[in-house]
Amino acid sequence: MTTYDPDNIFAKILRGDIPCHKVYEDDAALVFMDVMPQSPGHTLVVPKAPSRNLLDADPAVLAKMVPLVQKIAIAAKAAFNADGITLWQFNEPAGGQTVFHLHYHVIPRYEGQPLRAHAGKMEDAEVLKANAAKLKAALG
Name the catalytic one among 21, 103, 105, 118.
103
Stretches where the chain sits below pLDDT 70 are 1
In tens, the pLDDT along 85-97 reads: 999 999 999 999 9
Predicted local distance difference test score (pLDDT) of residue 119: 78
Contact 40, 106 (CB under 8 A): no
- Work out how many domains the chain is built from and give that number: 1
Q: Which domain holds residue 89?
A: 9-139
User: What DSSP state is assigned to residue 38?
Assistant: S
Question: pLDDT for 31-41, tens place per residue?
Answer: 999 999 999 99
Active site residue 103: yes
CB-based contacts of 14-17 (< 8 A; 24+ apart in sequence): 14/46, 14/48
| Residues with Cβ within 8 Å of residue 70, at least 6 apart in sequence | none
Asked whether residue 53 is assigned to any structural domain, the reply reads yes
Q: Quickly count: other Cβ atoms within 10 Å of residue 125's Cβ.
A: 12
Task: Look at residue 1 in the predicted model and tell me its pLDDT.
Answer: 58
The CATH number of whichever domain residue 121 belongs to comes to 3.30.428.10
